[in-house]
Amino acid sequence: MSVFEREIVVRFEHCDAAGIMFYPRLFALVNEMVEDWFAAMEHPFSALHIDQHEGVPTVELEAEFIRPIRMGERLTQSFRVLHIGHSSCRLLHEARVGAELAARFEHALVFVDLATMKSQEWPLNLRAAMTRYEDHL
């Protein structure tokens, strides 16, 4: 099992007029994690979307926001893979400020052919790479 993790500084642009992170931008940061994960597994989004006309749209998201996230704070984002299905997977994301859990998401995405938007089976090498991050908790 391996956790995918990064640390970012909360930027001016992430924050709203209240000086706290605007939640749609946290979802964009969550999506960046998924993008980095696919790149680390040698399926970068550029090849996936542009060359292969495949994508991984989000089909479900359950989010809990526990603590406001403020400009300038260091945010640690991490996720683990809860489940890998035939053509989908389920991730558990966490965002922490220091030791405090700030937000938590369960996130299901599905592997699709962009032409038809139908789900399709994960390629074997991608699936093998994904399992290295799997963690049944």
Q: What share of the chain is helix, strand, coil (3-state, %, to 5)?
A: 25, 40, 30
Pick the closest to residue 42 from 130, 133, 119 (CA basis). Answer: 130
CB of 75 to a copy of itself, least distance (A): 13
b/e for 47-72, b at 16 or more Cβ within 10 A? ebeeeeebebeeeeeeeeeeeebbee
10 Å Cβ neighbour count for 85? 13
78 contacts a copy of itself (rule: CB under 8 A): no
82 contacts a copy of itself (rule: CB under 8 A): no
90 contacts a copy of itself (rule: CB under 8 A): no
Which is nearer to a copy of itself, 71 or 134 (by Cβ)? 71
Q: Which residues pair with 113 in a beta bridge?
A: 54, 118
88 contacts a copy of itself (rule: CB under 8 A): no
Residues 111-130 touching a copy of itself, rule: CB under 8 A, are: 114, 117
18 contacts a copy of itself (rule: CB under 8 A): yes
- Rule CB under 8 A: which residues touch a copy of itself? 9-13, 15-20, 22-25, 27-28, 31-32, 35, 39, 44-47, 49-50, 55, 57-65, 68, 70-72, 114, 117
